């Protein structure tokens, strides 16, 4: 039996009414992310051609400056959301400060702010390995009609109304949540549409994959060292398999489908971990919880951490519920 797959556009319209703050604004916002994702995807797919058509950062044959892909992605997402006048503010991992958006005719009337990591894991681009975009959406807390302030961006992750990622992999997928489960859409490049391919995504409660940069092992806290040894021990279902792409979106995506845990702990080199709370950890933590997984800094639920600055870093442990709880157990026991 064949049945027609739903497109992301259709899915957004169908779910708009059920969204608790429904006014169409959030749907337009997700739609604009979908559009920018397609444009960025096109550019990412051409990355392997740089030797033929010129390096990023160089001037191309038309005399135009070619941008590095992460700069390109940053500009594209910001431009799309600004032009369509659907958010009141944007913060990006690529920008030092947040951007306040104000249209000529409607002064600060939009209610959402977006935080974005436009191209995460971008060092993987040079070697043709998957990268991703991560986004996080909040309702502003300052009054409509006034410019956004830093407080609109420094909200706890538990206040997110939507979050998602795009993985530019063997196929390109957009995966997102509006707080009612997680759904994944695969891009059909021939047609240019995303189709619902992974409805109601969930982390298996347990898994057998651990993903961590073990090159930093000697610098890890004792609890993490002990947990890694536990993963490697021959007992019950162990040893687990080690899989580390070094691209958070891809490692998360695989672990969500197969069952696994991702860890980026603190180390001597990175005393607060490496990943950014606002652009990376909060959105992934929201997705993880919506997919019945867990996300923690080893002791505290990520979504409960009160951010104090835009580019704050935190240790990050995320994945299948039982695995994250086990890692937390080790953190508590071996401080």
Q: For ligand AHM, which residue of 66, 74, 122, 296 counts as binding (CB under 6 A)?
A: 122
Task: Give the integer Cα–Cα distance in Å for 263 and 302.
Answer: 13
Binding mask 281-300 for ligand AHM (x = CB under 6 A): --------------------
Q: CB of 130: closest distance to ligand AHM in angstroms?
A: 10
Would you tell me how many other CB atoms lie within 10 Å of the CB of residue 265?
26
- Point out which span in 73-81, 242-250, 296-304, 319-327 binds ligand AHM (CB under 6 A): 242-250
- Point out which span in 21-29, 165-173, 241-249, 327-335 binds ligand AHM (CB under 6 A): 241-249
Task: Give the integer Cα–Cα distance in Å for 62 and 84.
Answer: 29
Task: Give the integer Cα–Cα distance in Å for 320 and 291.
Answer: 9
Q: CB of 67: closest distance to ligand AHM in angstroms?
A: 17
Interacting residue ranges for Mg ion, rule: CB under 5 A: 117, 120
259 binds, among Mg ion, ligand AHM, none (CB under 5 to 8 A by kind): none
**In sequence order, which residues have a C-beta less than 8 Å from that of residue 84 and are 6 or more positions away?**
28, 32
DSSP character string of 161-219: SEEEEEEESSSEEEEEESSS-EEEEEEETTTTEEEEEE-S----SS-SEEE--GGGGGG
213 binds, among ligand AHM, Mg ion, none (CB under 5 to 8 A by kind): ligand AHM
Binding mask 210-229 for ligand AHM (x = CB under 6 A): ---x----------------
Q: CB of 120: closest distance to Mg ion in angstroms?
A: 4
* Cα 196 from chain centre: 19
Residue 134 binding ligand AHM, by CB under 6 A: no
Binding mask 12-31 for ligand AHM (x = CB under 6 A): --------------------
Query: CA neighbours within 13 Å on the CB side: how many for 318?
Result: 29
Residue 121 binding ligand AHM, by CB under 6 A: yes
Residues making up the binding site for Mg(2+):
93, 117, 119-120, 280
- Point out which span in 40-48, 114-122, 202-210, 233-241 binds ligand AHM (CB under 6 A): 114-122
Residue 274 binding ligand AHM, by CB under 6 A: yes
Q: Which two tokens stand for residue 330?
A: 């080790």
Task: Give the integer Cα–Cα distance in Å for 133 and 167.
Answer: 7
Q: For ligand AHM, which residue of 248, 263, 287, 302 counts as binding (CB under 6 A)?
A: 248
CA separation, residue 274 to residues 32, 55, 264 (Å): 29, 28, 7
**Nearer of residues 187 and 212 to ligand AHM, judged by Cβ:** 212
Task: Give the integer Cα–Cα distance in Å for 10 and 3.
Answer: 15
7 binds, among Mg ion, ligand AHM, none (CB under 5 to 8 A by kind): none
- Which burial class, exposed, middle or buried, applies to 283 when counting CB atoms under 10 A from its CB (0-12, 13-18, 19+)? buried
Q: CB of 252: closest distance to ligand AHM in angstroms?
A: 9
Contact residues: ligand AHM, CB under 6 A: 117, 120-122, 213, 246-248, 274
């Amino acid at each position: 039996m064949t049945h027609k797959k739903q497109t992301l556009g259709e899915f957004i319209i169908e779910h708009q009414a059920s969204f608790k703050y429904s006014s169409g604004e959030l749907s337009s916002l997700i739609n604009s992310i979908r559009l920018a994702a397609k444009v960025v995807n096109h550019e990412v797919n051409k990355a392997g051609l740089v030797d033929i058509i010129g390096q990023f950062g160089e001037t191309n044959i038309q005399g135009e400056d070619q941008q590095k892909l992460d700069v390109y992605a940053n500009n594209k997402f910001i431009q799309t959301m600004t032009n369509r006048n659907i958010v009141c503010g944007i913060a990006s991992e690529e920008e030092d400060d947040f951007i306040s958006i104000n249209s000529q005719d409607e002064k600060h009337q939009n209610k959402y702010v977006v935080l974005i990591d436009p191209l995460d894991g971008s060092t993987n681009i040079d070697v043709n390995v998957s990268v991703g975009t991560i986004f996080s959406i909040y309702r502003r807390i300052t009054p409509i009609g006034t410019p956004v302030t830093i407080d609109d961006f420094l909200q706890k992750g538990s206040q997110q109304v939507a979050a998602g990622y795009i993985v530019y992999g063997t196929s390109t997928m957009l995966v997102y949540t509006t707080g009612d489960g997680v759904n994944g859409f695969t891009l059909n490049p021939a047609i240019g549409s995303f189709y619902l391919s992974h409805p109601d995504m969930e982390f298996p409660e347990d898994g057998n994959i651990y993903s961590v940069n073990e090159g930093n092992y000697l610098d890890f806290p004792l609890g993490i060292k002990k947990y890694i040894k536990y993963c490697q021990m021959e007992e019950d279902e162990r040893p687990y398999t080690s899989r580390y792409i070094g691209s958070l979106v891809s490692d998360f995506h695989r672990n969500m489908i197969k069952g696994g845990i991702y860890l980026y702990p603190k180390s001597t080199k990175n005393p607060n971990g490496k990943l950014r709370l606002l652009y990376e950890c909060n959105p992934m933590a929201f997705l993880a919880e919506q997919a019945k997984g867990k996300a923690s800094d080893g002791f505290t639920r990520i979504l409960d951490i009160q951010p104090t600055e835009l580019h704050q870093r935190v240790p990050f442990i995320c994945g299948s519920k039982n695995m994250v709880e086990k890692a937390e157990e080790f953190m508590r026991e071996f401080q």
